[in-house]
Amino acid sequence: MAELARALDDLTCASCGTTDCLWIYPVRGVVECRECGTKAVVILDALDQ
């Protein structure tokens, strides 16, 4: 199964403060900042609406 990454528009990284730098990996339930590399686990149910 290919891992699909989607950009999360209008979200700001809590670590480095860059906007539109966050990508979500639905397979792993992880959000990663492309600027500073910060990763966070997310609750997919909250995003699937």
Q: State the residues that interact with Zn ion by CB under 5 A.
A: 13, 15-16, 33, 35-36, 38
At 44, list the tokens. 């997919």
| Least distance from Zn ion to the Cβ atom of residue 1, Å | 27
| Least distance from Zn ion to the Cβ atom of residue 11, Å | 10
The CA-based angle 37-39-44, given to 5 degrees, is: 145
List, edge to edge, every strand of the sheet that includes 22-25. Answer: 6-8, 22-25, 30-33, 39-41
Residue placing its CB nearer to Zn ion in the complex, 17 or 27: 17
| Least distance from Zn ion to the Cβ atom of residue 33, Å | 3
